[in-house]
Chain A
Amino acid sequence: MKKLALAGLLAVGLTGCSSEEPQVLSLYNWSEYMPQEVLDRFTEETGIEVVYTTYDSNEAMYARLKLLDDSAAYDLAVPSTYYVSKMRQEDLLMPIDRSKIEGFNRLDPELVNLDIDPNNQFSVPYLWGTTGLAVDTADIEGEPVNAWQDLWDDRFEGRVMLTNDMREVFHVGLRVLGYSGNSTNPKEIEEAYKKLSELMPSVRTFNSDAPRMPYLEGETDVGMIWNGEAVMGKDTMGALEYVYPEEGVIAWLDSFVIPKNARNPDAAHQFISFVLQPEISALISEDIGYATPNLEGRELLDDAVAGNRASYPTPEDMENAEFQVDIGDDALQVYAKYWEMLKSGR
């Protein structure tokens, strides 16, 4: 009797495990950065299952990819601007076979062939966006918030949120001091650390998994946010505004890359082509609020989305904006040290 039960359990487990292996695409992406509908439609159209795993920082993505380098774990990843050049230079990526990609010519000419990857040999732009200020207008009183510097204001004590992203947080500190957000000067980084540590008593939490959530949950009122998160957040909470700070937003472009040892590069190419369809690009941009580099996709956008300054900034909004670039491993270590100090300080 007991043996029977055990055998039954084992059989259930076995059938759960050994059913026909369908083709699988292993996609490694930022959390909440791809609508489920897109994945479902891809599977429906191609029969390829998508295994979607997530990360919350470029560092985590990069470390994990290196860790799993030999075991060919991921077929597709989505690093931000500066990590594309880093990974390309370290020979971690597989060249993109342009003949297998449909619709590359639909991409905004201004967002291809950049310094990070000349001729886009290794990357295809997915979405671009900015990191700016989030303001819960219902909960704050007094002067409107227009600049990163305003976060240091006493009235926000315990109400500030920062992204859990070393480079972005230091970018803010550096910009407030008037330096470049891509500084590699240890002196400037240390100054930024000191400036940021003055902010720390105000900082309630760091969040890069879903930066809109602390605002929606009422834990924080002002701070950093990604534009798409702000757009998604406004759907739930009308008072959440996205503000372009005077010192300039942080701009980034996230691109598809195929790790060198990907097991299923064909499926990866297929997926990129799938996303490059104007209709799918438009769907993604409408659903998660970031800007698509796909010009034909942009034409299909709902007017409300295309005209939303949070998703699609005007040239004035982008004044002082700075793209993140690779700063090299030495500078990264300096940042890392101060970052840990910052987060653990009381």
Chain B
Amino acid sequence: MLSVRQQPFKTAVLVLVWGWLLFLVLAPNLLVVGASMMTRDPVSFLSLPLNLDAYRQLFDPLYLEVFLHSLFMAAMTTLVCLLIGYPFAWALSRVGKQRQLLLIFLLIVPFWTNSLVRTYALKLILATNGLLNNGLMSLGLIDEPLQLLYTEGAVIVGLVYLLLPFMILPLYSVFDDLKQEVLLASHDLGAGRLSTFIHVIVPLTLPGVLAGVMLVLLPAMGLFFVPDILGGSRHLLVGNVIKNQFLDARNWPFGAAASIVLTVAMAFLMFAHRLSKRRLGEEGP
């Protein structure tokens, strides 16, 4: 091992990175854990004694309902993204290489546009006097405008629109790795299309699915501005609850506990993702 003096560059870099991560990632997260176990205080935000009241409050049937509703919307978002994204990624991986690059570029371009502005554009389309309703009415398909804005559906549409690329990209990368020969081999061994799909394609693309779920489900619980704009401040996400607790109701322990729930969900998903990859590594060819 070379000493510090012999490798000043290495030492400097490591000190910088570790310093940054410890101070701005580890310390703040420990603070949140600490805050979640303190007592709400109306004057200064937190006070002793330490207790688990905030966690108990999470399981209060009232808040539980909020969380379940939020989870439901996030899960629906993820499901819709998966249903759209899976065949999309598949189809994308079958297009010629040159065109694939262009298509991926086109997929990413919307991501480079401000997400608030895009959410707002959806409002223009979904509003009672909006483009969709006007279009349907002038086609004579409906007589009265549909109530699309400020519904649960609108929130889900908004989340899907913002998060779809995050589902497609990891799926695309697993489909891209999927060797045509594997499918042919499966076919040669007498497997039908359905059986090939279930026994070969699904397991091989599972890490991509889990990565996509991770990239969609977590933000779908946190993007508080989507219900604000498209949900009419109804149909709250966990993100809205956390934001309200910190910036309106000043119940920091509860807000912190809610955020820890998200962190735990993340840890769980990351674990599942690793597991699926490892299993694939062991059983794969």
Contact = CB atoms under 8 A, between A and B. Distances in A.
Contacts of B129: 217-218
Interface in B39-83: 42-43, 45, 62-63, 65-66, 69-70
Contacts of A344: 65-66, 69-70, 234-236
Contacts of A219: 127-128, 147, 149-150, 232
A64 B45 CA distance: 12
A206 B42 contact: no
- Name B's interface SS: loop
Contacts of B145: 218
Nearest to B44: A66
Contacts of B232: 204-207, 214, 219
Interface string A308-346: 000000000000000000000100000011001101111
B128 A217 contact: yes
B241 interface: yes
Interface string A33-67: 00000000000000000000000010110011011
B56 to A, nearest CB: 14
Given A207-B232, A219-B128, A341-B62, A59 B69 contact: no
A64 B249 CA distance: 11
Interface in B191-207: none
B13 to A, nearest CB: 22
B186 interface: no
A25 interface: no
A340 B66 contact: yes
B65 A341 contact: yes
Contacts of B127: 217-219
A197 to B, nearest CB: 12
A63 B247 contact: yes
28 contacts: A57-B248, A63-B248, A67-B247, A90-B43, A203-B234, A204-B147, A204-B150, A205-B232, A206-B233, A207-B232, A217-B127, A217-B128, A219-B127, A219-B128, A336-B249, A337-B62, A340-B62, A340-B63, A340-B244, A341-B65, A343-B236, A344-B65, A344-B66, A344-B70, A344-B234, A344-B235, A345-B65, A346-B152
Interface of A: 57, 59-60, 63-64, 66-67, 90, 158, 164, 203-207, 214, 217-219, 329, 336-337, 340-341, 343-346
Given A344-B70, A345-B65, 16 more contacts: A57-B248, A63-B250, A204-B147, A204-B232, A205-B232, A205-B233, A206-B234, A214-B232, A218-B127, A218-B129, A219-B149, A219-B232, A340-B66, A340-B244, A344-B65, A344-B66
